[in-house]
């Protein structure tokens, strides 16, 4: 079977402060919206812009870092994959939500230009690297 590709990279601003919760097993999960705006010029020379909102979800250590360092208005680079989940409400209606499940996040705010990037992947210790 051939493999597909589901990779998303966005640069934008948080629409509100992150919200962190814990699963019943104690794993942290943080949700926050990121807005990206694209601009273009029509054939008539008119400037247009459109904003797209991404529902971002971060898990584990990355969730804790996002909750600690990000705030409404923060400019970020987020990388991950899209995932759609569904659920049924109390009235039996089906709901769907597509989310960007983050695997990496870089803070792009100018006042945080020296801030490191964060990933949900474990970074090997220097002694573990093969040279």
Task: Please state the domain extents for the chain.
Answer: 8-113
Distance CA 75, CA 78 (A): 10
Is pLDDT above 70 for 35? yes
Structure confidence by residue, pLDDT tens digits, 6-31: 999 999 999 999 999 999 999 999 99
Structure confidence by residue, pLDDT tens digits, 79-93: 999 999 999 999 999
Q: What confidence tier does 111 reach under pLDDT thresholds 50, 70, 90? A: low
Residue 108: how many CB atoms within 10 A of its CB? 16
Evaluate whether 39 touches 131 at the Cβ level (below 8 Å): no
CATH class name, domain 8-113:
mainly beta
pLDDT for residue 131: 36
Identify how many contiguous H helices and E strands the chain contains and give both numbers.
1, 7
Distance CA 65, CA 74 (A): 13
The proportion of the chain whose per-residue pLDDT surpasses 90, expressed as a percent, equals: 81
């Amino acid at each position: 079977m051939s493999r597909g590709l589901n990779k998303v990279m966005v640069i934008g601003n948080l629409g509100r402060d992150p919200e962190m919760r814990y699963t019943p097993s104690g794993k942290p999960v943080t949700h926050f919206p990121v807005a990206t705006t694209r601009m273009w010029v029509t054939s008539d020379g008119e400037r247009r812009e459109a904003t797209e909102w991404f529902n971002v979800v971060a898990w584990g250590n990355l969730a804790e870092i996002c909750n600690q360092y990000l705030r409404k208005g923060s400019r970020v680079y987020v990388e991950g994959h899209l995932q759609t989940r569904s659920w049924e409400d109390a009235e039996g209606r089906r709901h769907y939500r597509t989310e960007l499940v983050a695997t990496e996040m870089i803070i792009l705010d100018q006042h945080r230009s020296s801030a490191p990037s964060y990933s949900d992947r474990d970074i090997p210790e220097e002694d573990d690297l093969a040279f």
